[in-house]
Structure 1
Amino acid sequence: MQTNKINYVELPARDLALNKAFFRQVFGWGFKDYGPDYTAFENAGLDGGFFRADFCSRPQNGAALVILFSDALEAARDKVAFAGGIIEQEIFEFPGGRRFHFLDPCGNEWAVWGR
C-alpha cells in the first residue's frame, strides 16, 4: 500500500442488491458483502464499496464525480441504459476525449470517458 495516496472510495446506495446487480451486469464488477449494510466492489479499478444510505452522491451536492474509462464509449452508454441506468448527460467532447454522465439505480452520478 502506498502512503498518502488515494486508497479506497465509499459511495452510498439505497438498495445494495440493486446496485450490485447493475454494476455486475454493466461493468463486470464483483462484490464481497460485509454484513447487510455494506458491500465492497472488486475488479473496479479502484478499491471501494457501497454503504446503505438514504442519500446519493451527486457533484451538484458537493460530492466527487467518479469517472470510469471505456474503449467503447457508445457501447458502455447503451449497456448503462439497458440495465436501468439513467443517462444524465449524453456523450460530449472535452479536451482529451469524450464522455457521458449517468445515474446508477440508487441515484449516484457517474461518468464514463473514452477517446
Structure 2
Amino acid sequence: MKLVRLTLANMNRYLAQILDLEREVTYPYGDKFFKIDHGKDYFAFFERLGKLYYYIFVDKHRVAGVVAAVLRTVPSRIGIKKIWYYCDLKIHPDYRGQHLPIKMAYKFIYEIC
C-alpha cells in the first residue's frame, strides 16, 4: 500500500473514489449517526484552514483511506505558531482493522515533518 499526496496532476484519478468514500462514511453521535457533505468543492473547507496536504492510501488503484493534514498558523501565548491539524480521516470499510490511521500518521511524519 502506498501513501500518495493528492495534487492537481493526479486528482482526477482518485476524486471519484474519495467522493464515494465520503458518501459511505457515517459518524456516531450518541446512539445515532450522521454524514458530512463537503459540497461541490470538497477541498475548499480544508484550504480555508491553512496549507492543505491531502493524502490517500492507495492499494493497487483503490483508495483505502484518506486524510487531510493542514498546516495552520495560529496565535498562542508565546506568539504565532505553526501547527498541523489532522482531519477528514476516512478508512474504506474493506480496510478497517488494519491500523491504517497509525500507518498514515507514521508515513506522514516521516515524509513531511
Q: Same fold, TM exceeding 0.5?
A: no
TM-score (ref. length: structure 2): 0.30
Higher helix share: 2
Structure with the bigger RCO (C-alpha within 8 Å, sep 6+) is 1
Q: Which structure: larger Rg?
A: 2
TM-score (ref. length: structure 1): 0.29
